[in-house]
Structure 1
Amino acid sequence: MSKTKRLAYKIPFKLEVVKYAKEHGNRAAERHFGPPPTEKMIREWRKQEDQLQKLDKTKHTFRGHAAKWPQLEMDMKEWITLHRNMGFSVSTKMIIYEAKRIAVEKGIKDFTGSPSWCYRFMRRSGLAMSSCVLPSTPCLLCDPTCSITASSYNAGCLFCTALCSNLPVSGYQG
Structure 2
Amino acid sequence: MDDLDRALDGVGERLRALRRERGTTLAELSASTGVSVSTLSRLESGGRRPTLELLLRLARAHGVTLDELVDAPPTGDPRAHMRPVSAYGMTVVPLTRRPGGVRAHKLVIRPEGPREPDPRTHEGHEWLYVLNGRLRLVLGEHDLVLTPGEAAEFDTRVPHWFAPAGDEPVELLSLMGPQGERAHLRVRPRS
Same fold by TM-score greater than 0.5: no
Query: Looking at CA atoms only, which structure, 1 or 2, has the larger radius of gyration?
Result: 1
Q: TM-score, normalised by structure 2?
A: 0.24
- Hey, which of these two has a bigger chunk of helix by percent? 1
Higher strand fraction (1 or 2) = 2
Q: TM-score, normalization: structure 1?
A: 0.26
